[in-house]
Structure 1
Amino acid sequence: MEPLLIAGLGNPGDEYALTRHNAGLEFINLLCDNYSLTLKKENQINGHFAEYETESYKLILVTPSTYMNESGLCISKCKKFFNLNTNQILIAHDELDLPNAHIKLKESGGHGGHNGLRNIIDHFKGDNSFKRIRIGIGKPSKDKDVISYVLKKAPKNDREEMIDTLRNYLDLGERIMEDGWQKTVMNFHTVKEEKDNES
């Protein structure tokens, strides 16, 4: 069976833990908890990974050991190490252009100013056909610096809201493997619209 690799972008080290920029890493940690997995260091990919396999699908969870701006080194090495096509890769990343805790699935496209995505596309020599889960972190006010905003820890309420929302996506990988991308996107967005209408 062809596996799906889910990689969460962020910066390593305690000083960056729980910062907005590490939303992608948070998603991988939640997935590991959900599947009772422990990430193992693998020097050949410049990162850590864990595998979850059933009779019908296989997921590879990855966190780069590199800083955000060098994410492409790990992801490109993963592509070779696990013998994947680009469209078998799903990148979880923070997204300034979405309100906090809003999630959007995207099949492919440009980097949108995100340095982690930009570096991945550079390492893939322009191939941007990897999938994404965009995790909204909101935008700073106009007089605030974007870099300091993403590298700060979110207020407790914002963080809890984001974690609660991400818990609704813990079966994303298996849904993609079993139902296909288009149906999965449609189902998740339909559920979200129904919840928005209820609130």
Structure 2
Amino acid sequence: MIKLFVGLGNPGPEYEATRHNAGFWWVDALARDLKLVLQPERGYHGFVARGQVGGQTVWLLEPQTFMNLSGKSVAALARFYKIEPQEILVIHDELDVVPGEAKLKLGGSHAGHNGLRDIHAQLGTGDYWRLRLGIGHPGVKSEVIHWVLKKPLKEQREAIENAIARTLHAVPALVAGEMDKATMLIHTSKPPRPKPPRREPGEGGAPAAG
């Protein structure tokens, strides 16, 4: 059962449209869906909103500490409201997933992601849920830092936005604790390939349009 949705990013207009802020984009979209407005909360070092999904109270959080100190914000809110790590979903950019796809995962390696590393340190565990929004990889490790801090190409941004819109459909299942259902909704990312036109045995020529 997810009670806290955390989007990762860097504060400030210069970072707003960069790949590293995909987590912010997702939480912004959820706030719009729930008709909530994120407000600055100094005690939690971030922008916070509180709402209802299926009769359950949920919190939305965008840490304003810069990425590598995200855990300070997450831990402050989680401890105050007694939210367990397994009730937290962290939404973040993922180099190893292509734009347009997303993956849901409990725990696991933070693979060099500084925001996740700090959340792990501050919570004392990596056993929180992660929604990995694909941003793709530049292909060369030395280019990663520049890649995540640059704006995606137009078609990549559109693919990420489509993934955000689609994965928001999983929110009721996430809040209800139906994690298998949420995983299925999130991972069914690619539209089914069109089936080839069906031919009857012995039929020749081009298939009829239909």
Assess if the C-alpha contact under 8 Å between 1:3 and 1:57 holds in 2.
Answer: no
Rg comparison, structure with higher value: 2
Q: Show CA shifts across 1:117-141 (max 9, x none).
A: 001101122x111001000000113
Assess if the C-alpha contact under 8 Å between 2:110 and 2:117 holds in 1.
Answer: yes
The Cα of 1:92 is off from its aligned counterpart by 0.1
CA-atom RMSD, angstroms? 1.9
The Cα of 1:171 is off from its aligned counterpart by 3.1
Assess if the C-alpha contact under 8 Å between 2:133 and 2:163 holds in 1.
Answer: no
Give SS of 1:15's match: coil
- Find runs of 4+ consecutive structure 1 residues off by over 3 angstroms: 196-199
- The match for 2:15 is 16
| 1:147 aligned to which of 130, 145, 148 | 145
Give SS of 2:189's match: helix
Assess if the C-alpha contact under 8 Å between 1:56 and 1:178 holds in 2.
Answer: no
- The match for 2:43 is 44
- The match for 1:105 is 104
| 1:192 aligned to which of 174, 189, 193 | 189
The Cα of 1:175 is off from its aligned counterpart by 1.3
Report whether the alignment pairs 1:183 with 2:181. Answer: yes
Give SS of 1:52's match: strand
C-alpha distance 196-124 of structure 1, shift in aligned 2 (>3 A): same
Distance 2:2 2:116 in 1: 21
Distance 1:143 1:60 in 2: 35
- The match for 2:71 is 72
- The match for 2:62 is 63
Using the size of structure 2 for normalisation, the TM-score is: 0.86
The Cα of 1:183 is off from its aligned counterpart by 2.7
Assess if the C-alpha contact under 8 Å between 2:89 and 2:129 holds in 1.
Answer: yes
Assess if the C-alpha contact under 8 Å between 2:169 and 2:185 holds in 1.
Answer: no
Assess if the C-alpha contact under 8 Å between 2:163 and 2:189 holds in 1.
Answer: no
The Cα of 1:82 is off from its aligned counterpart by 1.7
Seq. identity, %:
34
Using the size of structure 1 for normalisation, the TM-score is: 0.91
Assess if the C-alpha contact under 8 Å between 1:47 and 1:62 holds in 2.
Answer: yes
Give SS of 2:47's match: strand
Gaps of 5+ in 1: none
Q: How many residues align?
A: 195
Structure 1 window deviating more from structure 2 (88-97 vs 140-149): it is 140-149
Gaps of 5+ in 2: 196-210
- The match for 1:128 is 126
What amino acid is aligned across from residue 41 of structure 1 in structure 2? P
Give SS of 1:50's match: strand
Distance 1:5 1:59 in 2: 6
Write 1 or 2 for the structure with the bigger share of helix. Answer: 1
- The match for 2:80 is 81
The Cα of 1:58 is off from its aligned counterpart by 2.2
C-alpha distance 15-99 of structure 1, shift in aligned 2 (>3 A): same
Structure 1 window deviating more from structure 2 (136-145 vs 22-31): it is 136-145
